[in-house]
Amino acid sequence: MPGESCGICGGDGRIANSFSGTTATCPGCHGTGRRAEDTGLLRDVTKTKPSHHRQPNKAKEPQAAAGPSTLEGMQMAKEVQGCAFISNATKTKLLIEIVEHEATHGKCTQTFVKKVRKQLRAPGA
């Protein structure tokens, strides 16, 4: 692998800007024209927020039956329970979502409240 040509510059060691006509050192091989040994070790930058690294805690499942713990969560749970046109299975699913959202975010965010209320609207309303 160290003897292979760089895939970015094609082994030239320089890359050209087609708009201005300037050239620069290739960032892939640093001007050597050969593939660097650590090129294949790309760093994953897609999960940069700390909240993305947390895994849902499956040990907290019994707490889902206990209900929401914040004021916003309790109000949302009352709205869900009071909704007449959704099924009991949907109500249970929404209550679990509320509890899990509180567990991961610490509270019911405005975006989450809007999402739940959208599901509670009457069909065609």
Q: What is the pTM of this model?
A: 0.47
Nearest of 29, 3, 20, 22 to residue 12 by alpha carbon:
29
For the chain, the structural domain boundaries read 1-38, 56-120
SS3 state at 34: strand
Q: Are strands 14-16 and 23-25 parallel, antiparallel or unpaired?
A: antiparallel
Integer Rg of the chain from CA: 26
Q: What is the per-residue pLDDT for 69?
A: 85
Q: Quote the CA–CA distance of 23 and 2 in Å, as a whole number.
A: 24
Q: What is the per-residue pLDDT for 106?
A: 87
Count Cβ atoms below 10 Å from residue 101 Cβ, excluding itself. Answer: 22
For each successive 10 residues of the chain (125 residues), what is the average pLDDT?
75 84 84 70 63 59 64 90 89 91 88 89 74
